[in-house]
């Protein structure tokens, strides 16, 4: 006999997240550096060339040099005053700690949490860790998350930064560790069939983001957006998977969420990514 839960599950499963494309607009970009005026000019030029896809006559570029601020508070005040739509900066402003790849530096740490503005973090100009393809263009952009379904904001941002005729990867890595922990628990419950649970839960966890990427692909095709979209939906260890994908596809820009609901700390895998991935630019939204 059919049961209630069976059909309710079927209908809930058929309820798919719809994607709506909205190109993000950046009227004001603020470059926050600890360079002097001479260094700033070359740096800004490089950034504008790299971000050609969002640049244009209507975009106003502002910059802070080393002399414009002496503390985190002053940077936040400048951001509040200039109201940028995008901040471009790098790790370890006004510090030599960039030599040791174990933190972000106090300025960036606060900026990513205390403001609602997306922050583009580029490799430190002095560190020499950038890949050869970094800061050249944004032909290959990847959005990463552990919950892609319905995240229009992340996808829009990734597409918005992808150069014309470039490729945008939408990546969803389901945490293998968490999954195995639940499977271990299920294995100890006699009422639940472990094999069925493993197969169906894994399938459903990956099906939802897969369906969402299909919806995104259909939408950008319908909207005639000149971007090729690729899908990476897997189960694995997040940081390791991301590193492999970045290396494999020579990603020019990584886009991910950093903010938690309470804005107290970076979410999930964001902090280790922000600290560890120093070779390519990161767009932290």
Partner 1 sequence: MHSVPPYVTYLFATLLVAMIFCLALEEKLHAKKSVITGAFAAVSLLLAAVFGLVHPETVILLGHPIRLPVYIPGVDWEVIAIILGSSLFVDVTSKCGLFTWIAIKLTKASGGDPLRLLIFYGVMTVVFSAVLNNVTAMIIVGSLSSVSLAKLRMTDKLLGFLLVEGLLTNVGGMLTLISSVPNIIVGNAAGISFVDFFLKASPYVVVATAVTIFMGARLFRITSLKEEAAKSQAAQLVAGFDENDGIESAGFFRFGTVMTALFIVAMASVSVTPFIRDLGMGYVALAFALIMLVRYKSTADRFYQAMDWDLLAFFGCLFIVINMMEHALVLELIGDGLKPILGLGETTGAGVLLFASAIASSVTDNIPLATMLAKILGTMDMAADSPFWWAVIFGANLGGNITPIGSASTLVAVTIIHKNKLPMSFAGFVKIAVPFAVVQLLLAVGYLLTILR
Residue 2 is a binding residue for partner 1 (CB under 8 A): yes
Region of residue 175 (left: phi > 0; alpha: psi -120 to 50; beta: else): beta
Residue 12 is a binding residue for partner 1 (CB under 8 A): yes
- CB 104, min distance to partner 1, A: 38
- CB 3, min distance to partner 1, A: 7
18: which residues sit within 8 A by CB, 6+ positions away? 215
Look at the alpha carbons of 62, 66, 72, 78 in this order and tell me if their dihedral is positive or negative: negative
Neighbours of 188 (CB within 10 A): 8
- CB 203, min distance to partner 1, A: 12
Q: Are 161 and 53 in contact (CB under 8 A)?
A: yes
Of residues 140, 131, 133, 135, the one with CA closest to residue 159: 140
Q: C-alpha angle with apex 173: 167 to 178, nearest 5 degrees?
A: 175
Q: Binding segment for partner 1 among 5-13, 27-35, 71-79, 110-118 (CB under 8 A)?
A: 5-13
Decide: helix, strand or coil at residue 188: coil
15-44 positions binding partner 1, by CB under 8 A? 15-18
Nearer to partner 1, 1 or 261 (CB): 1
Q: Binding segment for partner 1 among 1-9, 67-75, 82-90, 128-136 (CB under 8 A)?
A: 1-9
Q: Are 170 and 232 in contact (CB under 8 A)?
A: yes
Nearer to partner 1, 2 or 96 (CB): 2
Out of 11, 57, 132, 224, point to the residue binding partner 1 (CB under 8 A): 11
Residue 14 is a binding residue for partner 1 (CB under 8 A): yes
Residue 10 is a binding residue for partner 1 (CB under 8 A): yes
- CB 90, min distance to partner 1, A: 41
What are the φ/ψ torsions at residue 235 (nearest 5 degrees)?
-110, 135
- CB 219, min distance to partner 1, A: 12
Distance of CA 221 to the CA centre of its chain: 22
DSSP 161-213: HSPTT-EEEEEEEEEHHHHHHHHHHHHT-TTS-HHHHHHHHHHHHHHHHHHHH
- CB 14, min distance to partner 1, A: 4
Neighbours of 100 (CB within 10 A): 8
Q: Binding segment for partner 1 among 6-14, 88-96, 187-195, 250-258 (CB under 8 A)?
A: 6-14
Helix axes 176-187, 194-222, angle to 10 degrees: 150
Query: How many chain residues bind partner 1 (CB under 8 A)?
Result: 16
Nearer to partner 1, 4 or 264 (CB): 4
- DSSP letter for 120, please: E
178-217 positions binding partner 1, by CB under 8 A? 211
Q: C-alpha angle with apex 280: 126 to 271, nearest 5 degrees?
A: 95
Site string for partner 1, 121-160 (x = CB under 8 A): ----------------------------------------
Which residues of the shown chain bind partner 1 in the complex (CB under 8 A)?
1-4, 7-8, 10-18, 211
């Amino acid at each position: 006999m059919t049961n209630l839960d069976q059909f309710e599950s079927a209908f809930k499963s058929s309820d798919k997240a719809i994607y709506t494309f909205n190109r993000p607009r950046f009227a004001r970009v603020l470059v926050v550096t600890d360079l002097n005026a001479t260094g700033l000019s070359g740096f800004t030029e490089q950034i504008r060339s790299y971000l050609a896809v969002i640049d244009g006559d209507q975009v106003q570029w502002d910059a802070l040099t080393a002399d414009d601020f002496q503390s985190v508070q002053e940077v936040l005040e400048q951001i509040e005053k200039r109201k940028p739509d995008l901040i471009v900066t790098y790790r370890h402003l006004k510090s030599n700690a960039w030599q040791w790849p174990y933190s972000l530096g106090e300025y960036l740490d606060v900026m990513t949490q205390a403001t609602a503005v997306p922050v583009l973090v580029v490799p430190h100009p002095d560190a020499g860790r950038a890949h050869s393809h970094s800061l050249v263009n944004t032909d290959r952009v990847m959005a990463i998350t552990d919950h892609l379904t319905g995240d229009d904001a992340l996808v829009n941002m990734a597409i918005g930064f992808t150069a014309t005729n470039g490729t945008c990867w939408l990546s969803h890595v389901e945490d293998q560790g968490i999954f195995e922990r639940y499977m271990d628990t299920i294995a100890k419950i006699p009422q639940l069939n472990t094999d069925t649970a493993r197969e169906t839960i894994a399938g459903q966890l990956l099906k939802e983001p897969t369906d969402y990427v299909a919806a995104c692909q259909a939408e950008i095709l319908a909207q005639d957006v000149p971007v090729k979209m690729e899908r990476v939906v897997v189960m694995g260890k997040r940081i390791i998977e991301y590193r492999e994908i970045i290396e494999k596809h020579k990603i020019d820009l990584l886009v991910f969420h950093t903010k938690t609901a309470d804005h107290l700390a970076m979410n999930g895998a964001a902090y280790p990514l922000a600290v560890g991935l120093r070779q390519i630019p990161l767009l932290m939204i």
